[in-house]
Structure 1
């Protein structure tokens, strides 16, 4: 990239490029050089905005966590159907970049260490998404749309784990949303009102 070309949002440009590399090439091919090449910027741009590559990766995951925690799902309580709301949220939450980021977090010890130091869940991103689902289920329980004795702290990770498996097993499958709907309906069958 020529010197003097303005970058409108370099952090987001680099995050988006990292997401494309992760989805296309996998966690093992994600390097600072691959990210800057994908972003179309000079190699030094990444290090201008981040202390090092693991610092960049930490910020990438923290950005995804912030997006997950801002999910509109808890606010949907009492509207639509419980199964429909959860299916929509899980399909949106498990986009290809999110799945690739989960793999990245699992693969990189230093990244997990930095994320834990930043106060993330024990399994970063997955834990925060699980907490959002648990808040939504608790709100639905309070509204009487699921059983008053429903154990949302067990139901939430069950839904997250089952949905995650559906997306990783059925990569790029247009039927994956319907498969997730089936999982949500099955997991909640005993508590829906």
Structure 2
């Protein structure tokens, strides 16, 4: 019986294979046989590295969450720098224009996977929970700098931003949303809370021209 191709880094190749299937065919298509076939290896390779398939999927999700976190980490240092809408739009675009939007239905699709993930992720859905925390922290920093209204409810704005962006990217069968689409969502959600030069830029008037007026 063929054992498949030699695999220098079996875990990485299996994770990459799972991501391709997830993005191409959806969560229902993810089976151990499909993953090993996609990776070009024998089915036994997966079970040599993981206790069972749900254990594999749990580690796959956590691995991808770490990658997504690295893609959006710039937002932690962006407070006070540049335009708030641009900063958030870039972070949301990087977050959801990736495997992240496909991980959410995978987690909700499999009860056993959710149970496994709760060992490392006690509450919420991976990706969405992490994203809400990151955005809320950024908005709190901007509020402390006076660029967000002092009475802005950042704990409410953050999940609204993540939920709206997730809905925008959720339909992967149509054209991918553009940067203007993402900016429009950010502006609708937080526009009323913006303060200072950011507001003037959004209205198409530079701070210099405003001062001259």
Q: Distance in 1 between matches of 2:187 and 2:34?
A: 41
Matches within 5 A, 1:45-124: 45-70=45-70, 71-124=73-126
Q: Which has the larger radius of gyration?
A: 2
**2:193 aligned counterpart, secondary structure:** coil
Q: Which has the higher contact order (CA 8 A, sep 6+)?
A: 1
Segments of structure 2 that go 5 or more residues without pairing to the other structure are 196-213
Post-superposition offset of 1:130:
1.0
Residue 140 of structure 1 aligns with which residue? 142
* TM-score scaled by length of structure 1: 0.91
- Structure 1: distance between partners of 2:173 and 2:135: 22
Cα distance, 1:5–1:31 mapped onto 2, change above 3 Å: closer
Counterpart residue number, 1:43: 43
Instruction: Compute the displacement of 1:165 (Å).
Output: 0.4
For these two proteins, the number of residue pairs brought into alignment is 193
Q: TM-score, normalised by structure 2?
A: 0.83
In 2, Cα distance between the equivalents of 1:78 and 1:61?
A: 32
1:157 pairs with 2:195: no
Report how far residue 55 of structure 1 moved. Answer: 0.3
Distance 1:6 1:45 in 2: 10
Provide the residue aligned with 2:34 in structure 1.
34
- Map Cα deviations across residues 18-56 of structure 1 (whole Å, 9 max, x no partner): 111011111111001111111122211111111110001
Q: 1:62 to 1:9 in 2, by over 3 A?
A: same
Q: 2:86 and 2:188 mapped to 1: Cα distance?
A: 13
- Which is worse superposed, 100-109 or 33-42? 33-42
Matched residue SS, 2:192: coil
- Cα distance in structure 1, aligned partners of 2:80 and 2:45: 46
Q: Which whole-Å deviations, capped at 9, do the CAs of 1:34-84 have from their partners, x for residues lacking one? A: 111111222111111111100011001111222344422111222221111
Q: What RMSD in Å do the two structures reach over aligned CA positions?
A: 2.0
**Which residue of the partner structure matches residue 16 of structure 1?**
16
